[in-house]
Amino acid sequence: MSERRDPNGINHEARFIRIESTMERMAIAIVDLARVEEKILSLEQRRAEHHERQNRIAQKLDAQHDVVIGLQSKMLLFQKMLFTFLGITVSMAGAAISLYIKHYQ
């Protein structure tokens, strides 16, 4: 192949090959950038979905916390009533036994 040179001594074929090579590398880089952008968008979408899911779980947890607090106050009331009832029952049984012992002695 003969080299074509202009009067200034520039080899046009080599120059065109370098330009073509550079354009191919740029096209590959643009495709790679597009792929990276797609991955970033996908990750952002998944992050947003996880954030929404976490918010829903937090709301459910808050609702469960309110239920537990309500049950705790009811259980404390029930516990007080139970111990009061047991105290009265034991006192009445003690008094009945004491009267029984005094009566039959």
CA 48 – CA 37 distance, rounded (Å): 16
pLDDT tens-digit profile of 57-87? 999 999 999 999 999 999 999 999 999 999 9
Residues in a beta bridge with 11: 5
CA 38 – CA 42 distance, rounded (Å): 6
Place of tokens 């829903």: 56
pLDDT beyond 50 at 1? no
Q: Are 13 and 3 in contact (CB under 8 A)?
A: yes
CA 7 – CA 92 distance, rounded (Å): 127
Domain locations along the chain: 1-74
Q: Are 4 and 12 in contact (CB under 8 A)?
A: yes
What percent of the residues of the chain are helix, what percent strand, and what percent coil, each to the nearest 5? Answer: 90, 0, 10
CA 60 – CA 48 distance, rounded (Å): 19
Give the pLDDT of residue 13. 83
pLDDT tens-digit profile of 9-54? 667 788 889 999 999 999 999 999 999 999 999 999 999 999 999 9
